[in-house]
Amino acid sequence: MAITDSIIGFRRSLKRKNYSRYTVRDYLSTLRRFVLWLDCPIEKVDRKKILAFIDTLLNARLSPKTINCYLDSIRSFYRYLQEEEQIEMENPVKSGYLLRLPKPLPRFLRDEEIGRLFDVINHARDRAMFFLMLRSGLRVEETAGLKLDDLDLRRGTIIVANGKGAKGRMVYISTDAHDAVMEYLRSRPPGRAKGLFLVDKGALKGKPISVRGIQKRLEFYARKARIRVSCHELRHTMATQLLNAGADLTVIQDLLGHSRVATTQRYCRVSNLKVQKDYYRAMEIVVQRTSPEPTTQTSPSGARPRTPGV
């Protein structure tokens, strides 16, 4: 089997399925490492060989999440060989091989941290970018990929054309995010670029800003504000704030573009003020209904009995 031709075919298959360029890049990178590690033909790989590769990755101190990414790409490659190249073989990567991952609670910004962050962001483009991520729940890749035509500022909506998993959705723009975007558009460099957020200086001036470019800007402001925050935590913050404001879980799921409501339910374990208020409201009723009335024993003469030893 010509492994190089198969990898090229696998790459084309991923593109036909509309995988993002980041996913295609990561799949091919991990697959190449696996192929270079192999000491046998690709079609001769069995379960023992996969387990040995997992051990190699563990010895290299890769995280469980990274190792699972390797296994996902290798499994997808063998599925491609089976289905598209019609090679009769067993897929050696079984679902049970995935490593168990910790499930940390989503981290979000407190109100005072949000104030500190935006106090140091004076650049019009950057304020617009990060307000949209905070108020509309956009992923960093979605923010970098926004086009002018995706915005309908009159209706206060954004069409996210290429969300995660190639799923589109509509999100909404808050008043403060709307003001920030309008301020940026007044200073946005003129030109034919369709992208919304553009590089404003250097050799790439006028080109759409990259994912890494957005991340580096937030890292700069986080250091300046002396807080810890990532692009994805802005999205977490929006979800937590909506939940605490009484928004329905399915509404938040739709706005974030989650395929499963279980993903959205993680925010309930973080800071659900609605649950807290409902608990105390209901518990007050329960206590009133079930608590025994205080009783006081009195002597036949009506005097309160003396406590022994007093």
The catalytic site residues sit at 139, 164, 232, 235, 258, 267
Cα separation of 262 and 238, whole Å? 17
Question: Taking the CB of residue 254, how many other CB atoms lie within 10 A of it?
Answer: 15
As a whole number of angstroms, the distance between CA 38 and CA 45 comes to 8
Strand order in the sheet with 151-152: 151-152, 157-160, 169-172
Contacts of 124 (CB under 8 A, 6+ apart): 180, 183, 184, 186, 187
* CA–CA separation, 286 and 51 (whole Å): 55
Q: What is the Cα–Cα distance from 36 to 74, expressed in whole angstroms?
A: 13
- CA nearest to 19, candidates 124, 147, 162, 126: 162
Residue pointed to by tokens 């402001």: 221
